[in-house]
Amino acid sequence: MRKALQVGLKGHPHPNPPVGAVVVQGDRVIAQGWHNGPGTPHAEHMALDACRENAAGATLYVTLEPCCHTIGRDGNVRIPCWQRCLDAGVTRVVIACADIDPRTAGKGIQHLLDAGVSVDVGVLSEKAIHQQRGFRSIQTAGRPFVIHKVATTLDGHIACEGGDSKWITGEKSRRAVHQLRATCDAIIVGVGTIVADDPDLTVRSVPLVSGRQPRVVVFDRSLRMPESARVARQGTVIVTTSDAPGAATDAFKQKGCHIIALDADTYTVENILPMLADIGMGIVLLEAGGVLSGAFYRARYVDEVHWYIAPKVVGGGNAPVGLAGSPLATRMNRAIELTQMQMHRYGVDVCITGRPVWEGREAES
């Protein structure tokens, strides 16, 4: 299953889940497959098609329950994966986790059992669910899974007064951020970050997980991003309003940017995020400054936090902070807490990761 999870990362299937499959005959791996996205074969099909020898009696390890629908998201008709396993003569299927797509949700497992196939469910399920969190967020919440990454000094600043921010954390931390970026479909920033730093926002110095750079999404209400910005390139998404100047909109379109324009009074995180799901973004990395990051927290649209802290202080009451705007809590006993907290060291820096707990609490602002 560990191998199937690795193989699953070869695809870039959003809005479908990453899925890996490995076919084992005796003690030998005879084939593997993964899913590349709508319109392409599912992992089980790819693996069983790739078998160089008879798969009769083989075991198939797969990171998601085999599907039981015949018509794909692309409209094409094909054999459901559970049936494909049966046709190939597979006698045992080991599954990391059940599918939450209502078309399958347990029915794939039941079909296999009814056909006399031996089925095990739950092997490395936590890892698989983590790998599928973009797909699961779209299925259950209709929006991408949001990871907030921020780097601050020990006294909580993301820059000095005056704006200088290079660099807060060291090289090892920055490399870890590139690794994180490589697992995401998009990086979200506000136009303030573009104007202040003109970042490139690409994955550098680490391998691309799926051979594809994450896209950049710029929240830019009044379209004040300079045309010369490094992120003004093919594939970048600019989220603006219908009041944005037409000439600037055209100029960015010419550079290959995708423009999403909302009416000014509907320009909210809640309205924008589902639109990013619609253009195939399952996991997004929020690398914004305090103002936009604060808006994501107030919308309760932060699912995972990676908070880097460098052991240095800059002081200054006006130096920018990680979360700005109106408070999330006005009483400490209402603070948003992180569960599944982990701590990593990168050189002298520390990174705290976790999942904010939003359930049962009303935002206070």
Assess whether 44 carries a catalytic annotation. Answer: yes
* Distance between CA atoms of residues 6 and 350, nearest Å: 27
Partner whose binding site includes residue 328, from Zn ion, ligand AOF, none (CB under 5 to 8 Å by kind): none
Number of residues that bind Zn ion (CB under 5 A): 3
* Distance between CA atoms of residues 142 and 161, nearest Å: 39
> Smallest gap, in angstroms, from Cβ of residue 248 to Zn ion?
44
* Selection from 321, 292, 291, 285 nearest residue 306 by Cα: 285
Partner whose binding site includes residue 35, from ligand AOF, Zn ion, none (CB under 5 to 8 Å by kind): ligand AOF
- Give the contacts of 110 (CB within 8 A, at least 6 positions apart): none
Partner whose binding site includes residue 38, from ligand AOF, Zn ion, none (CB under 5 to 8 Å by kind): ligand AOF
> Smallest gap, in angstroms, from Cβ of residue 102 to Zn ion?
14
Q: Which of 44, 65, 287, 304 is catalytic?
A: 44
Q: Output 8 or 192, the one with its CB closest to Zn ion.
A: 8
**How far lies 182's CA from each of 38, 205, 213, 274, 291, in Å?**
21, 11, 7, 22, 25
The pair of three-digit structure tokens given for residue 357, joined into one six-digit string: 């707990």
Q: Output 11 or 290, the one with its CB closest to ligand AOF.
A: 11
Among 1, 47, 60, 67, binds Zn ion (CB under 5 A): 67
* Distance between CA atoms of residues 21 and 50, nearest Å: 11
* Distance between CA atoms of residues 291 and 247, nearest Å: 27
> Smallest gap, in angstroms, from Cβ of residue 310 to ligand AOF?
40
The pair of three-digit structure tokens given for residue 110, joined into one six-digit string: 């039941």
> Smallest gap, in angstroms, from Cβ of residue 240 to ligand AOF?
31
Q: Output 55 or 67, the one with its CB closest to ligand AOF.
A: 67
The residues of the shown chain that bind ligand AOF, judged by CB under 6 A, are 16-17, 19, 35, 38, 42-44, 64, 66-67, 72-73, 81, 99, 101, 104
Contact between 298 and 146 under an 8 Å Cβ cutoff? The reply is: no
Among 81, 146, 248, 309, binds Zn ion (CB under 5 A): 81
The pair of three-digit structure tokens given for residue 312, joined into one six-digit string: 């240095």
Say how many CA atoms lie within 13 Å of 203 toward its Cβ. 22
Angle between helices 107-114 and 81-88 (to 10 degrees): 20
State which of positions 19-48 bind Zn ion (CB under 5 A).
Answer: 42
* Distance between CA atoms of residues 193 and 201, nearest Å: 11
Partner whose binding site includes residue 16, from ligand AOF, Zn ion, none (CB under 5 to 8 Å by kind): ligand AOF
Q: Is 149 in the site for Zn ion (CB under 5 A)?
A: no
Q: Output 123 or 363, the one with its CB closest to ligand AOF.
A: 123
> Smallest gap, in angstroms, from Cβ of residue 35 to ligand AOF?
4
* Distance between CA atoms of residues 178 and 79, nearest Å: 39
Q: Output 14 or 181, the one with its CB closest to ligand AOF.
A: 14
Q: Is omega for the bond preceding 15 within 30 degrees of 0, making it cis?
A: yes
Partner whose binding site includes residue 101, from ligand AOF, Zn ion, none (CB under 5 to 8 Å by kind): ligand AOF
Query: How many CB atoms sit inside 10 A of residue 162's CB?
Result: 9
> Smallest gap, in angstroms, from Cβ of residue 95 to ligand AOF?
10
- Residues known to be catalytic: 44
Binding site for Zn ion (CB under 5 A): 42, 67, 81
